Amino acid sequence: MEKLFEIDQISFGYKSKRVIEGLSLTLAAGVFYGIIGPNGCGKTTLLDLMINHHQPAAGRIRYKGKTLAGYSKKALSREIALVPQNFYINFPFTAKEVVMMGRYPHIKRFAAPSTRDIRFVHDIMEQTDTLAFENRFITQLSSGERQRVIFARALAQDSPVLILDEATSNLDINHALGMLKLAAQGVEDETKTVIAVMQDINLAAAFCDHLIFVQHGNVVANGPVDKILNSEILRDVFQVDSKIYFEPYSDSMQVVFRK
Amino acid sequence: MTEDIKQKSGPRLGRSKVSQGSQVILLMLLLVLIIVASAGMGYIKIPFSDVIRIVLAKITGNTGILAGMDKLLPVVVLDVRLPRILTAATVGGGLAIAGVVFQGILLNPLADPYTLGVSAGAAFGASLAILFNISFMSTWSVPLLAFIGAMSTLLFVLYLSSSGGGYSSNNLILSGIIVAAILSAGISFLKYIADEQVSIIIFWLMGSFASKTWTDVSITLICVFFGFCVFLFYSRDLNLMSLGDRTASSLGVDTQKVPLILLLTASLVTAICVSVSGIIGFVGLLVPHMMRSITGPDNQKLIPVSLLAGAILLLGADTITRAVLPNEIPIGVLTALIGGPFFCYIFRKQQTAKVW
């Protein structure tokens, strides 16, 4: 399989606090990755390093064989799209305008969107079930609706890599499943690689091919879901007792926790 | 099919149906109209046709057009009124687009040059120049010190609020308010220790376009035009920055470089405007706010429209104080007196219209 990200011994910290410490990880193309770990373990920081929003203090990250620093911001924005967690927008853009911003990396600075861009945005909004409020202001949507618009915006970027940072945490189960299905569809069609930070381990087990457990700013376990997900690792990482079994109904491994 | 979707998608509040192109053309026509009208108004009334003849004669160099006209009129229009009119319009446009950019970067629709302390810095610099009668650059010392004050205040505010990489908008606004408070106290102190010059300081602080020259016009015009080009170039990035730092970054915006370039340029524009005309409040706040409800928040549309609307508004206000009112009121006082309550009104209206 083609190597997509090669993360080599990176460290990063804010001021005095080290967040990532000598982390190494290799990610292949065409896989649905789930990143799992307790709050504050450095998952979001890891994502920020992978989209080159922050630069590692030591070590380096290669994307498609070239260091991230070697990509222009614009070139990288055509490669990697990010769906952030909880955010808000202060200005009354319409939902459609926000989704169209996902096309900006493909549109020249002073050019108007082409009919193809407009068509693309329309199709994406149809798939993400956001068409119903395309002309409403983003400032007046509920947090779940807003999250779906932002997801649509990331899909409109039409990038080979899609990064979800707890993107389903604001959504009802119907729309959470819908969002993850769309992401998984992209992986199945071999057009996308998905890297998702998730809190819900059952959703992660159902949709991800591969799980990466992060603790104290480092990867502690990493492998295909059926091989890596067990009660020992959950006890190590989260200090909880759990039972793990194969559930035919969802056709995936599932976890139940002791109260 | 598309009709169908439009029906379902609910009302689109407020935005104008008039296309972007016609909005700009309409505002340009309005601006030209007000410039001509304003040039004819004042102590000596000049018919519009004569104003146009004077300008045409100047442009074409054909003095024959002026046949049979009082020799005084061309002097009044070209040397007294037009410099003042064009400075007022340019400053209005400059303050308005600087306001758009400050609001866009600080993610706060209520931000403006005041919030960042830039205006206070300029005022402090100017007060110093007046108090100590600094005159090493003759008439330019007040504008120069105002400019130095504005820029050093901005740099200090940036230094105060920077952490790691980038500037959080909350930190910027907080630092700006703190620094502005200190500088206001400083200005009060300067006023206290100044005896004879106190009236000059106070008058400068209230703002005025009286006795502007063609040099003022060209300096402000060059700076505002430069700022306008920079803002327009980065207008799309400014849109993306309203999605937040991380998202903007993932959409290809250099979130360390672009805000810095925009802040510096917006402060340059503000400083030049303030140094030429004194402190004129509410234009940078009010105009972007009003225009946003017409064009929407897309900065590619908002910036050109705000430039023209700011020019129209401030020129209108200056014409009122110069030619309509029996006594000239400082323009800064007038804009605050009219703009403030008006702003309260639209702000309150928006609060009650919000449906969450």
Q: Using one digit for the tens of pLDDT, what is the confidence trace for B58-75? A: 888 877 777 777 888 888
Chain B hits for A137, Cβ within 8 Å: 13
Cβ atoms within 10 Å, residue B41: 19
Chains A and B form CB pairs within 8 A to the count of 101
Q: State the smallest CA–CA distance between residue B111 and chain A in angstroms.
A: 12
**pLDDT-derived band at B337, boundaries 50, 70, 90:** confident
Axis-axis angle for helices B20-40, B299-319 (nearest 10): 20
- How far CA B312 is from CA of B57, B114, B122, in Å, comes to 25, 22, 24
Which residues in B lie closer than 8 A to residue A151 (C-beta atoms)? none
B68 touches chain A (CB under 8 A): no
What was the ipTM of the complex prediction? 0.88
Q: Are B230 and B265 in contact (CB under 8 A)?
A: yes
Q: Which residues of B touch A150 (CB under 8 A)?
A: 243, 247
- Residue B190, Cβ neighbours under 10 Å: how many? 20
**Chain position carrying tokens 């866009």:** B104
Written as six digits, the tokens of B107 are 């993610």
Taking an 8 Å cut-off on Cβ atoms, the answer to whether A109 and B236 are in contact is yes
| Band (B285; pLDDT cuts 50, 70, 90) | confident
Render pLDDT for A188-236 as a digit per residue (tens, 0 to 9).
998 899 999 999 999 999 999 999 999 999 999 999 998 999 999 999 9
Both tokens of A240, joined, read 């909880």
Residue found under tokens 């446009």: B93
Q: Chain A within 8 Å of B109 (Cβ-Cβ)?
A: yes
In the predicted structure, residue B164 carries a pLDDT above the cut 70: no
Following DSSP, what letter does each residue of B155-181 receive, concatenated? HHHHHHHB-SSSB-HHHHHHHHHHHHH
Given CB atoms, is A135 within the 8 Å cutoff of chain B? yes
Bridging pattern class, strands A32-36 and A193-197:
parallel
Q: How many CB atoms lie within 10 A of CB A149?
A: 25
Neighbouring residues of A168: CB distance < 8 A, sequence distance ≥ 6: A147, A175, A176, A179, A180, A198, A200, A203
The helix-helix angle for B82-106 and B214-233 (nearest 10°) equals: 30
Question: Environment class of residue A69 by beta-carbon count within 10 Å: exposed (0-12), middle (13-18) or buried (19+)?
Answer: exposed
- Tens digits of per-residue pLDDT, B106-148? 877 767 777 788 888 988 988 888 888 766 656 677 778 888 8
DSSP state of A90: -
- Rounded Cα gap, residues B232 and B101, in angstroms: 10
B110: nearest CA partner in chain A: A90
Q: Are A197 and A166 in contact (CB under 8 A)?
A: yes
